[in-house]
């Protein structure tokens, strides 16, 4: 298949494009959701021996979701810089160590989004956390022990991947 035409059909907070694909003699039209690219991290406080997660309202779930810290990568920003910024804004910590787990397509059948997933170690709380008021973020910081993390039920895909990675390696 080859993309022969791209048309932006919606350009709001998120974007939606219609792609025309050539498949041999046949042309197909498909919509593609374009939310941008994100970075996320499973954060471990090495001083307190606790994992730090967030709980916040998510429009897709229409409710609160317990998940790892995450945020959208700004234009001309690298994923590593994004997740360091997000950990500071959401959790209030400076990052000591950062390790990339994977960059993935969470839903490649209809979305152009990628998420770079990291493991981060922190030890110094330097801010309040809780998100940014000007971004309408109301984030609760949730602390979980290793045991609690292992038994916690998660419904968020990036969080499941990061937690499974930790279970296999820690």
Q: Note the pLDDT tens digit of each residue in 59-105.
A: 999 999 999 999 999 999 999 999 999 999 999 999 999 999 999 99
- Residues 43, 7: one domain? no
Q: Which domain holds residue 23?
A: 2-33
Q: What is the pLDDT of residue 131?
A: 74
Residue 83 token pair: 């997740």
Residue 135 is among the residues annotated as catalytic for this protein: yes
- Residues 95, 24: one domain? no
Q: What is the pLDDT of residues 55-64, one digit of tens each?
A: 999 999 999 9
CA distances from 157 to 87, 119, 163, 166 (A): 19, 15, 10, 14
- The answer, yes or no, to whether residue 6 has pLDDT greater than 80, is yes
Q: Tell me what the pLDDT averaged over the chain comes to.
A: 94
- Residues 47, 23: one domain? no
Q: CATH number of the domain that 129 lies in?
A: 3.90.79.10
Q: Please give the Cα distance from 123 to 55 (Å, whole number).
A: 21
- Residues 28, 71: one domain? no
Supply the pTM of this predicted model. Answer: 0.92
- Residues 10, 71: one domain? no
> Residue 101: in which H helix or E strand, if any?
strand 93-104
- The answer, yes or no, to whether residue 136 has pLDDT greater than 80, is no
Question: Which residues make beta-bridge pairs with 30?
Answer: 19
Instruction: Give the list of residues 6+ apart from residue 68 with CB closer than 8 angstroms, or none.
Output: 40, 41, 42, 43, 53, 54, 117, 156, 158, 159, 162
- Residue among 64, 128, 135, 155 flagged as catalytic: 135
> Residue 17: in which H helix or E strand, if any?
strand 15-23
| CA dihedral (151, 138, 104, 156) positive or negative | positive
- Residues 28, 77: one domain? no
- Residues 18, 55: one domain? no
Radius of gyration in angstroms for the set of CA atoms belonging to the chain, rounded to a whole number: 18
- Between strands 93-104 and 50-58, the pairing is unpaired
- Between strands 38-45 and 50-58, the pairing is antiparallel
- Residues 114, 158: one domain? yes
Domain count, the chain: 2
- Residues 84, 151: one domain? yes
Q: What is the pLDDT of residue 170?
A: 65
Q: What is the pLDDT of residues 10-38, one digit of tens each?
A: 999 899 999 999 999 999 999 999 999 99
- Residues 29, 42: one domain? no
- Residues 26, 100: one domain? no
- Residues 150, 74: one domain? yes
> Residue 40: in which H helix or E strand, if any?
strand 38-45
Q: What is the pLDDT of residues 158-167, one digit of tens each?
A: 999 999 999 9
- The answer, yes or no, to whether residue 133 has pLDDT greater than 70, is no
Q: What is the pLDDT of residue 30?
A: 95
**How far from chain centre, in Å, is Cα 11?**
21
């Amino acid at each position: 298949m080859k993309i022969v035409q791209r048309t932006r059909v919606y350009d709001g907070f998120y974007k939606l494009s219609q792609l025309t694909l050539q498949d041999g003699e046949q042309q197909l039209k498909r919509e593609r959701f374009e939310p941008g690219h994100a970075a996320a991290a499973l954060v471990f406080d090495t001083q307190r021996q606790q994992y730090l997660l967030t709980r916040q309202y998510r429009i897709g779930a229409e409710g609160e979701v317990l998940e790892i810290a995450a945020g959208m990568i700004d234009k001309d920003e690298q994923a590593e810089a994004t997740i360091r910024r997000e950990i500071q804004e959401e959790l209030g910590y400076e990052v000591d160590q950062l390790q990339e787990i994977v960059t993935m397509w969470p839903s490649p059948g209809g979305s152009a989004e990628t998420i770079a997933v990291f493991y981060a170690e922190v030890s110094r709380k330097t801010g309040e956390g809780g998100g940014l008021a000007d971004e309408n973020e109301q984030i609760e910081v949730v602390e979980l022990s290793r045991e609690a993390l292992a038994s916690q039920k998660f419904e968020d895909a990036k969080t499941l991947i990061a937690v499974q990675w930790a279970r296999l390696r820690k």
